[in-house]
């Protein structure tokens, strides 16, 4: 039996969680405010244990960023280039196949594809990227294009987001990554990413995808100008959509990286904030099965700690991550399966290799 003595407000929240009642934004604000981080962790850990037992998931996957040319100007982005700027690139089919061929191994189960909003190439370019990968690597799942990119495609192709998604699915799209969500409030988006999909459009892209049968991912890029309340509003909007569609597989909190210069950052997010955000995500998102700890942005050591703060997934091998590394991620750009297994085992958990849809490939 726990010997922790909780203050009255924390006890009320603990009772709600244990009775399966949904937490409010006010509850979330208290969880961000309390110095009693370990009680927050313990509650999140309880919820995770109930949902996922001792399992911690990982996947062998490959990141691909087919183009870094982008018409948008997000304040936190160090990845994008303007057309013609030094370092700008757009992979054609030959370059794409060479990139993948040079990095391929037969354990890879998923391509994770995101890129810039490049209007110098037509919508067909983005469809062809998927077709090419499906043709040459039919065994790998294609997880491609954020909700923000879906809205961008609908503008350059002059068709609806539903038509965009239908075309992408026909080309071989299996799921969408969770990026482009940043913080789902208009105040934030007008300051940080004014040129891309609004809160409603990002959510609509996912709602349409869910309606077409896709299971998708959701992220939150925290640690800059947003308030704690905005983070909680973000989570609340996601869980409202999840109530309607049950289309999200996982939530991924992403810590902002320190060289996001136009985001007004002076330093990295703190360990307390990273762990608290994982735990609060687990507690607020009561209708999500999985919470991922993103080792690229919080480091391998904190990722391991996150496994007792409510997280049950440490993502994948990635091979070569570029977007967070463009703004100061300190981690390596990829990691081996052995390292992932080591991190999980030494946290006292059971490593489970999964496919994109959380089907179990192997327990270690
Ligand atoms: S975050 Fe994406 S949309 Fe924004 S500037 Fe960078 S590449 Fe473009």
Residue 189 Cβ inside 6 Å of ligand 1? The answer reads no
CA 350 to CA 75: how far, in whole Å? 39
Give residue-wise pLDDT tens across range 267-310.
789 999 999 999 999 999 999 999 999 998 899 999 999 999 99
Q: Does residue 251 sit within a domain?
A: yes
Residue 70 Cβ inside 6 Å of ligand 1? The answer reads yes
- HEC per residue, 200-224: HHHHHHHHHHHHCCCCEEEEEEECC
Q: What is the pTM of this model?
A: 0.95
Structure tokens at 146: 């954020």
Check which CATH number belongs to the domain holding 262 and give it. 3.20.20.70
Give residue-wise pLDDT tens across range 314-363.
998 878 788 777 877 777 778 888 999 999 999 999 999 999 999 999 99
Ligand 1 pocket check: which of 117, 146, 197, 321 to mutate, most ligand atoms within 8 Å of Cβ? 117
**C-beta neighbour count of 8 within 10 angstroms:** 7
CA 197 to CA 87: how far, in whole Å? 25
CA of 77 from ligand 1 middle (Å) equals 6
Q: Does residue 102 sit within a domain?
A: yes
CA of 179 from ligand 1 middle (Å) equals 10
Residue 80 Cβ inside 6 Å of ligand 1? The answer reads yes
Q: Does residue 9 sit within a domain?
A: no
Tell me whether strands 350-354 and 360-363 are parallel, antiparallel or unpaired.
antiparallel
Residue nearest to atom 4 of ligand 1 (CA): 74
Q: Does residue 119 sit within a domain?
A: yes
Residue 77 Cβ inside 6 Å of ligand 1? The answer reads yes
Q: Looking at the predicted structure, is the pLDDT value of residue 2 above 60?
A: no
Ligand 1 pocket check: which of 68, 80, 114 to mutate, most ligand atoms within 8 Å of Cβ? 80
Arithmetic mean of pLDDT, 206-224: 97
Q: Does residue 18 sit within a domain?
A: no
Task: Find out whether 283 and 310 touch, Cβ atoms under 8 Å.
Answer: yes
Give residue-wise pLDDT tens across range 57-83.
999 999 999 999 999 999 889 899 999
Report the pLDDT value the prediction gives residue 336, as an integer from 0 to 100: 87
User: Which long-range contacts (C-beta less than 8 Å, at least 24 apart) are formed by 265-272?
Assistant: 265/76, 265/223, 265/224, 268/223, 269/222, 269/223, 269/298, 271/302, 271/305, 272/37
Average pLDDT of every residue of the chain: 94
Q: Does residue 180 sit within a domain?
A: yes
Range of the domain at 128: 23-363
Structure tokens at 113: 């594809």
Give residue-wise pLDDT tens across range 114-155.
999 999 999 999 999 999 999 999 999 999 999 999 999 999
CA 318 to CA 312: how far, in whole Å? 18
Ligand 1 pocket check: which of 73, 85, 116, 205 to mutate, most ligand atoms within 8 Å of Cβ? 116
Q: Does residue 16 sit within a domain?
A: no
60: closest CA among 333, 334, 296? 334
The count of domains in the chain is 1
Q: Does residue 52 sit within a domain?
A: yes
Arithmetic mean of pLDDT, 79-108: 95
Task: Find out whether 211 and 251 touch, Cβ atoms under 8 Å.
Answer: no
Residue 325 Cβ inside 6 Å of ligand 1? The answer reads no
CA distances from 305 to 111, 194, 308 (A): 27, 35, 6
Ligand 1 pocket check: which of 193, 260, 261 to mutate, most ligand atoms within 8 Å of Cβ? 193
CA 143 to CA 205: how far, in whole Å? 15
Residue 156 Cβ inside 6 Å of ligand 1? The answer reads no
CA of 227 from ligand 1 middle (Å) equals 22
Looking from the CA of residue 68, the nearest atom of ligand 1 is 7
CA dihedral angle for residue 145, residue 149, residue 153, residue 159, rounded to 10 degrees: 100
Q: Looking at the predicted structure, is the pLDDT value of residue 177 above 90?
A: yes
Q: Which residues contact 124 (CB under 8 A, 6 or more apart)?
A: none
- HEC per residue, the chain: CCCCCCCHHHHHHHHHHHCCCCCCHHHHHHHHHCCCHHHHHHHHHHHHHHHHCCEEEEECEEEECCECECCCCCCCCCCCECCCCCCCCECCHHHHHHHHHHHCCCCCCEEEECCCCCCCCCHHHHHHHHHHHHHHCCCCEEEECCHHHHHHHHHHHCCCHHHHHHHHHHHCCCECCCCCCCCCCHHHHHHHCCCCCCHHHHHHHHHHHHHCCCCEEEEEEECCCCCHHHHHHHHHHHHHHHHHHCCEEEEEEEECCCCCHHHCCCCCCCHHHHHHHHHHHHHHCCCCCEEECCHHHHHHHHHHHHCCCCCCEEEECCCCCCCCHHHCCCCCCCCCHHHHHHHHHCCCCEEEEECCCCCEEEEC
Looking from the CA of residue 115, the nearest atom of ligand 1 is 7
Residue nearest to atom 2 of ligand 1 (CA): 116
CA of 283 from ligand 1 middle (Å) equals 30
């Amino acid at each position: 039996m726990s010997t922790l003595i909780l203050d009255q407000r924390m006890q009320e929240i603990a009772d709600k969680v244990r009775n399966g009642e949904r937490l409010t934004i006010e509850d979330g604000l208290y969880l961000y405010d309390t110095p009693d981080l370990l009680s927050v962790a313990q509650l999140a850990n309880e919820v995770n244990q109930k949902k996922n037992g001792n399992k911690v998931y990982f996947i062998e996957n490959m990141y691909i960023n087919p183009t870094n040319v982008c018409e948008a100007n997000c304040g936190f982005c160090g990845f994008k280039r303007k057309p013609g700027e030094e370092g700008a690139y757009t992979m054609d089919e030959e370059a794409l196949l060479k990139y993948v061929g040079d990095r391929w191994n037969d354990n890879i189960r998923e391509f994770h594809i995101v890129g810039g909003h490049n209007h110098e190439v037509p919508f067909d370019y983005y469809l062809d990227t998927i077709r090419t990968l499906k043709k040459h690597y039919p065994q790998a799942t294609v997880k491609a294009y954020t909700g923000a990119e879906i809205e961008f495609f609908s503008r350059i192709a002059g068709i609806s987001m539903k038509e965009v998604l239908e075309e992408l699915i026909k080309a071989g799209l299996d799921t969408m990554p969770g990026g482009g969500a940043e913080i789902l409030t208009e105040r934030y988006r007008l300051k940080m990413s004014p040129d891309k999909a609004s809160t409603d459009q990002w959510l609509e892209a996912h709602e349409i995808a869910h309606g077409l049968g896709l299971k998708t991912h959701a992220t939150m890029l925290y640690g800059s100008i947003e308030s704690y309340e905005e983070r909680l509003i973000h989570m609340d909007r996601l869980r409202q959509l999840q109530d309607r569609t049950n289309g999200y597989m996982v939530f991924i909190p992403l810590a902002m990286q320190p060289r996001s210069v136009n985001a007004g950052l002076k330093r990295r997010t703190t360990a307390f904030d990273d762990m608290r955000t994982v735990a609060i995500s687990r507690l607020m998102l009561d209708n999500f099965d999985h919470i991922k700890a993103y080792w690229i942005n919080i480091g391998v050591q904190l990722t391991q700690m996150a496994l007792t703060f409510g997280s049950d997934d440490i993502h994948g091998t990635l091979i070569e991550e570029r977007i967070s590394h463009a703004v100061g991620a300190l981690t390596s750009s990829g990691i081996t399966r052995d390292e992932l297994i080591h991190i999980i085992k030494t946290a006292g958990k059971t490593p489970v290799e999964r496919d994109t849809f959380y089907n179990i490939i192997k327990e270690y």
